[in-house]
Amino acid sequence: MIATTISDFRKDIKRYLDRVTNNFETLIINRGKDSGVVVISLEEYNSLTATQHELSSRKNAERLDSAIEKLEKGSSFQKELLD
């Protein structure tokens, strides 16, 4: 995670945004007392929204938890896809 002020961000915006997109870093821009902005890459944002969707219903969350548990226990299996 990177933190900076709005002034420093303005001075070197390209470098900050390159670090966010290239290194999957989160950038916090402090804008004063109890105020700020968080910058994340588009890829990270898409990942978060996909996770939110997957966990949006109890049934989906239970299926995901079950799949993770099976994978961790080594009781998962692979299937070949048909052409």
Considering the domain architecture, whether residues 11 and 29 belong to the same structural domain is answered as yes
d(CA 57, CA 54): 7
Considering the domain architecture, whether residues 6 and 34 belong to the same structural domain is answered as yes
- pLDDT value of residue 49: 93
Domain annotation covers residue 67: yes
End-to-end CA distance of the chain: give it in Å, rounded: 43
- pLDDT value of residue 56: 86
d(CA 50, CA 68): 16
pLDDT in tens, the chain (83 residues): 999 999 999 999 999 999 999 999 999 999 988 899 999 999 999 999 998 988 888 998 888 889 889 889 888 778 888 87
Considering the domain architecture, whether residues 36 and 53 belong to the same structural domain is answered as no
Q: Percentage helix, strand, coil, to 5, in the chain? A: 55, 15, 30
Parent domain of 48: 43-73
Considering the domain architecture, whether residues 29 and 57 belong to the same structural domain is answered as no
Considering the domain architecture, whether residues 62 and 49 belong to the same structural domain is answered as yes
Considering the domain architecture, whether residues 36 and 58 belong to the same structural domain is answered as no
Q: Evaluate whether 70 touches 76 at the Cβ level (below 8 Å).
A: yes
pTM of structure: 0.67
Number of domains in the chain: 2
